[in-house]
Structure 1
């Protein structure tokens, strides 16, 4: 191992490489050999940390955490009247800066393996609960309905991103 690089760093390198490889090739076509090559390590070293399925789980968990962290930052730094707009902007920034994570989430929505579905359900539920609580705490009317509309708009953002159709988005 290279001096100064911890196993935690390598684990993160593997996850980040997996995001790229899975988004590029699709989960079923991608291989752990491709992930290892992208991370500039050996395939057995990937298996030291992950199976292919657990690697996808870790990549998805990373993507959901990124969204929640961005929304937490917005909640802490934005006044209630601009909260919803702040969440929208934060998500748009994530779709630009971490495009592959969003594409990976979209792919994972169709994967039927129970552990992957569980990660996706948990991530979506966590985001839904966070947004709804933030809206309620901000005193926004009809917080549950606004949350549903917000999530639907996020899904439209994803489709717009995947199909390279920015005209699908509502301009504000």
Structure 2
């Protein structure tokens, strides 16, 4: 039985990964579960075995993307010297943007989807990131931790825009 459960979890993760790619490439509204199934090399009914609706699949994909960010940030928080914390968090997010670009694009798209469950997942995801960063900044004694948290998140949003529009000059700073 453990083998079947493990296989089911793997298959579910494969479907979520395929959905992230398809939603990021086509947009949520144009994407279909048939396209997700094709990308995952399975039948469309098999997608519905795990996810009752396309919206449920989107919600799962968004939760995966926020969990990845939070996990990465927690690793940094527990391993970085306090004076390097903010720079290490920025580096961690930059790495996520490189390695998981489609997840970031998916989050950006989801910000415009007005369905209550999607809005709720996005709100919770951003609250969790905010809470994690703020607590870490306070713990290491960063002055004006709440403002610095807001600026950190704003920088992340600008990074997202810079990446999605291929405008690296938005991220240039004076040394």
TM-score by length of 2: 0.95
Question: What is the CA deviation profile of residues 2-35 of structure 1, one whole-angstrom value per residue up to 9, with x for unaligned ones?
Answer: x987011000000000000000000000000000
Matched ranges for 1:64-143 at <5 A? 64-143=66-145
Q: Which runs of 5+ in 1 are unaligned?
A: none
Point out where structure 2 has 5 or more consecutive residues left out of the alignment. none
User: Separation in 2 of the partners of 1:63 and 1:8?
Assistant: 17
| Residue correspondences, number | 170
Residue 17 (structure 2) pairs with residue 16 (structure 1) = yes
After the TM superposition, which segments of 4 or more aligned residues of structure 1 sit over 4 Å from their partners?
A: none
Offset at residue 170 of structure 1 (A): 3.5
Query: After superposition, what is the alpha-carbon deviation per residue over 1:65-90, rounded to whole angstroms, capped at 9, x for unaligned?
Result: 00000000100110000000010000
Give the distance between the partners of 2:102 and 2:169, measured in 1 at CA.
20
Aligned-partner Cα distance in 1 for 2:69–2:56: 20
Distance 1:82 1:12 in 2: 34
Post-superposition offset of 1:113 = 0.2
How does the TM-score come out when normalised to structure 1?
0.96
